Chain A
Amino acid sequence: MIEVKNIEKSFEGTQVLKGISTTFEKGKTNLIIGQSGSGKTVLLKTLLGIHQSDNGSIAFDGRVYSELSRSEKRNLRTEIGMVFQGSALFDSMTVEENIAFPLRMFTDKSDAEIMQRVNEVINRVNLINANKKKPAEISGGMQKRVAIARAIVNNPKYLFCDEPNSGLDPKTAIVIDNLIQEITHEYGITTVINTHDMNSVLEIGEHIVFLKNGVLAWSGNNKEIIQTDNEDVVDFVYSSELFRMVRDAIRHIGNEKNK
């Protein structure tokens, strides 16, 4: 569980995060949504410790990040898995080496033990016949799978994903979403996903945080987001005609059932 209390962050006099407080729960897919410039990426990078917050606190299962020593912060980082928007796989390494990287860096496992674990996660994310290939030789969807495999190989407690669906076709995007959700439930990870993708919001949004101009404007889950009348959320989520129709249809079905 990650508890965020009153986080504020400014860049050169412009306040990007304005007192955000929320809780990202364990074993759930927590989504951060909002328009470009709403502060989603800054919030994610602040959670990751890439940015230092000006005010407020972030606690990882009770451990307040700003109060940890340098070595404790380093240890905490080994409990974090991250899936970057562009996958951020190491070009010079094969798929297998990319996935093995956190184990080689942070554990004393033998080569055989590392390969056993690597093969386990490769099977878990359904990566077929890609072990010896370089990232440039595989598709975007497969690169995401490798990134997920690398993020979970060292059994992280916290998984962060920055727009994991960007650049993927809708079908692959849903597969990746479901994979992240399954892994979150299976391993009891606290997963935080930064996304623009409304399919993801409706599909896997177990806890959704909506940011507007650096303020937490709404929070709820994928069922509540369909019912909400919050104007900002409706304006953002249902900006597309298709989603408005889906929402109306779902509401209509709900009303029919209630009759």
Chain B
Amino acid sequence: MIKSGLKNIGQYFIMLKEIFSKMTKWKVMKELIFKEIDDLIIGSLGIVCFLSFFVGGVVAIQTALNLTNPLIPKYLIGFATRQSVVLEFAPTFISIIMAGKMGSFITSSIGTMRVTEQIDALEVMGVSSLNYLVFPKLVAVFLYPFVIGISMFLGILGGWFGGVMGNFVTSEQFIIGLQDTFIPFHITYAFIKTFIFGFLLATIPSYFGYYMKGGALEVGKASTTSFVWTSVAIILTNYILTSLLLSN
């Protein structure tokens, strides 16, 4: 098992190198990049907006319901919502949800191409299949922080909506909480994480799709495996980055 794990890690890094070998013609690549932006980024906006708004609302309501001590100021609801959404919910948990949505899409689409010999067809024609298939995804996920930015905004908006409409906090108190002890580096930290998670979201599912063997059933298995390992990689990377960037 250890041998197989090490083999997979080694093969993953070889794949990363191969992605940049023999670049596809820019005229073709440009269209592929726009298509991937549409599939991976624009196609994810709906679910991200929905989840962010309502989870933000739940965070605010839960915080309000647990602040039973009258000495604790109400504006902490806004503060807690901001910290939860900006630091963890938007960058990390949306990325895990994207490992399911975007990751499964990537693994199953590349895996199906493998099963139906479309990847062999590219190779026989002299096209670098890894560059053709994975490079546009890598470029598209450069826009992933844009999705997370929207998630942050809607999460906080959802928190305001849940807190104010549920009469747990006034709008002024919530906004004071949002502005309280704001550390701009937290935004930088969140976007550094987002860039790295975006890279993992594009490459790990591509790896599982590209190197899969078998038929339709194995495509399904590869999608599940890809989700599990992308989530593990995101959680571990999150731990390491938080230790490196936020610990004193």
Contacts and interface: CB of A to CB of B under 8 A. Distances in A.
Interface of A: 48, 50, 74-75, 77-78, 80, 82, 84-86, 88-92, 101-102, 104-106, 160
A84 B126 contact: no
Contacts of B121: 82, 84, 88, 90
B144 to A, nearest CB: 22
Contacts of A91: 112-113, 116, 118
A197 B35 CA distance: 40
Contacts of B113: 91
B22 A88 contact: no
Interface in B27-50: 27-28, 35
A85 B117 contact: yes
A80 B28 contact: no
29 contacts: A48-B124, A50-B123, A74-B126, A75-B126, A77-B124, A77-B125, A77-B126, A78-B125, A78-B126, A80-B124, A82-B121, A82-B124, A84-B117, A84-B120, A84-B121, A86-B116, A86-B117, A88-B118, A88-B120, A90-B118, A91-B112, A91-B113, A92-B35, A102-B125, A104-B27, A104-B28, A105-B25, A105-B125, A160-B124
A72 to B, nearest CB: 11
Prevailing SS type, chain A contact patch: mixed
Contacts of B25: 104-105
A202 B124 CA distance: 29
B136 to A, nearest CB: 12
Q: Which of B24, B35, B127 has the most CB of A within 10 A?
A: B127
A78 B116 CA distance: 21
Q: Which of B24, B27, B117 has the most CB of A within 10 A?
A: B117
Given A50-B124, A77-B124, A80-B124, A105 B28 contact: yes
